[in-house]
Chains A and B, each alone.
Chain A
Amino acid sequence: MKILCAIKRVVDANVNVVVKSDGSGIELTNVKMSVNPFCEIGVEQAIQLKEAGIADEIVAVSVGSAKTQEQIRVCLALGADRGIIVDAPDDLEPLVIAKILKAVYLQEQPQLVIFGKQSIDGDNSQTGQMFAALTNLPQATFASDLKIENNLATVVREVDGGLQTLQVPLPMVLTTDLRLNVPRFASLKNIMMSKRKQIDTISSDDLGVSLERHTETLRVERPPTRTAGIIVDSVDELVSKLRSEAKVLS
């Protein structure tokens, strides 16, 4: 079985994000970039399926500029077998990314396509579901557990009230939630070995997908900031402030 893992290059989760003062966006110059944490969970899941003898090939794919190599390399060092970069501008919309990945899917014909449940920059939670619709594949989003047997996936999903379990036939789309697994660290040996693994670059022009935007981001502002209130000395003072000042206790 072949697994396709969709990867996004994003600002590292530990970076303190700064909104540009001219309102044009987020400051990305000289900022550490990483594999989106949810995508990394997806790669780990693929590796575990390969270790369990269920998968035999893992392909990591990303859509973006040449710099995306760094993140695909990380996935190869973790255990993906080869990489694909679809060379395209970095700020494409989820719908366009989903269309591009559909073209890659049709070439690769994987049985399982894994996405992160959301990227930590756009916070949309769209690409996996859009891809599933465009490819007419069934989906299981926000997965916290996955078992595959006889071409059937049993997926536990994180839903608002608790957990939901679905049975989905392959080929299918999975999006990962936090508790699916804890990604491993790449060993030095695997980092060295990954340099010999193949990364193919496809031009988005060759895929026949229009990159035209459907939306415009007019500006990005800082959120209204909250200022620190007061430090109280005791529970008595806290209760009294909540009653008489904040009026949130009866």
Chain B
Amino acid sequence: MSVLVIADHNNAELKPVTLNTLQAARSIGEEIDVLVAGHECSEVGDSVVKLGVAHKILIAESPSFEHAIAEDIAALVATLAASYQFILTAHTTTGKNFLPRVAALLDVQMISDITEIVAPDTFKRPVYAGNGIATVKSNDATKVISVRGTAFDPITTGSVSTTIETLPDSTFPEPSPTKYLKDELAQSERPELNNAKVVVSGGRGLGSGESFALLEELADALGAAVGASRAAVDAGYVPNDMQVGQTGKIVAPELYIAVGISGAIQHLAGMKDSKVIVAINNDPDAPIFQLADYGLVADLFEVVPEFIRKLKEHA
């Protein structure tokens, strides 16, 4: 079973979610190749070599791959596909953008956001905001799959010796007419929401964007990332890249602290696989308490400062 994993990276660093994708790949087949497509991204290639899990790394370096424009990455992957039975990447905004294009070019029905590999052709994936878990069998000769990172442990370092193959730019597809203008990425010292061990999220109960400063303080006391419910995003308190839920990010940290979040189904879809869930809400009937391991019915503006104080006292 030959598997191609397309690395998620920013040209400087391999995104940790690639390690989860590699774990999924290894449970399908031993022979894993990794494609690193980008621009001046040799360090990313080096870090894949150090993992010792890939048989071969394919490096495709071109300015047209720098920003992972879907048209360009998909066309490149399609030219490589014939050698593989499985093509995997992470179900991130990058993967979701280009992988369906790859599948269509190959006339394959992609399997999105898998959470379990039942057999090499059969996968589990959530539907209806995680209210159902579908078991789907693919009859396509090539399987094109995006992987939910939180459902697979990161791969551990192995001892496979990796060969590096630099793809000649004569094989690259014609660049698409889409032009990259800019990125506005949140600058934060906190861990990334997708991979954080602890996540503190706020909802409409916070009442304003300013109140999120309180959650940030709590997050810093815990070394946590800060998330938000869709209600808080819709109310304009925080930007959308903080949204946890069906249409936002899916997280599964060791500890998830929901503050002022009632627990709408679409939010629960994004966090219910967390190991330990704490809910702080002044409404004892809030649905979030039905799945929280520890609930505290209280005014968040009183108990969160106290929580921060207690954490700092102990530190």
Contact = CB atoms under 8 A, between A and B. Distances in A.
B303 to A, nearest CB: 5
A216 interface: yes
B307 A235 contact: yes
A167 B294 CA distance: 47
B12 interface: no
Interface stretch (B21-29, B46-54, B182-190, B203-211): B182-190
Contact of A26 (B128, B135, B239): B128
Interface string B31-70: 0000000000000000000000000000000000001011
B294 A241 contact: yes
Question: Of residues B92, B112, B186, which shows the largest number of chain A Cβ atoms within 10 Å of its Cβ?
Answer: B112
A238 B133 contact: no
- Interface secondary structure of B, over-half rule: mixed
A217 interface: yes
A205 interface: no
Contact of A95 (B99, B109, B303, B314): B109
B1 interface: no
Nearest to A14: B265
Contacts of B96: 125, 129, 141-142
A214 B230 contact: no
A215 B139 contact: yes
Contact of A160 (B93, B109, B254, B265): B93
A235 B198 CA distance: 18
Given A26-B127, A130-B104, A162-B183, A248 B275 contact: yes
Contacts, number: 264
A25 to B, nearest CB: 8
Contacts of B191: none
B161 interface: no
Contacts of B113: 123-124
A100 to B, nearest CB: 13
A220 B134 contact: yes
B228 interface: no
B127 to A, nearest CB: 6
A25 B126 CA distance: 12
Contacts of A13: 266
B158 interface: no
Which of B99, B105, B177 is packed against the most chain A CB atoms within 10 Å? B177
B190 to A, nearest CB: 12
Nearest to B70: A139
Given A94-B109, A95-B103, A133-B100, A166 B181 contact: yes
A25 B122 CA distance: 17
A164 interface: yes
A92 to B, nearest CB: 10
Interface residues of B, number: 90
Interface in A214-236: 214-223, 225-232, 234-236
B133 A221 contact: yes
A125 B67 contact: no
A214 B127 contact: no
A132 B138 CA distance: 23
Nearest to A236: B310
A165 interface: yes
A11 B276 contact: no
A162 B104 contact: no
B310 A226 contact: no
Nearest to A10: B128
A238 B136 contact: no
A154 interface: yes
B310 A11 contact: no
A178 B247 CA distance: 8
Contact of B133 (A131, A139, A222): A222
5 contacts: A129-B97, A217-B136, A229-B277, A232-B295, A248-B276
Interface of B: 67, 69-71, 74, 92-94, 96-105, 107-113, 122, 126-140, 176-186, 192, 194, 198, 222, 230, 233-234, 239-241, 246-247, 249, 254-255, 265-266, 272, 275-278, 284, 289-297, 303, 306-307, 310-311, 314
Given A214-B109, A215-B109, 19 more contacts: A16-B265, A25-B132, A95-B107, A121-B128, A126-B112, A131-B104, A139-B71, A158-B240, A165-B182, A165-B184, A166-B69, A166-B179, A217-B136, A217-B137, A230-B293, A230-B295, A235-B306, A239-B311, A242-B276
Q: Which 9 A-B pairs have the closest CB atoms?
A: A214-B109, A229-B293, A129-B100, A130-B104, A133-B104, A133-B101, A126-B100, A226-B291, A162-B185
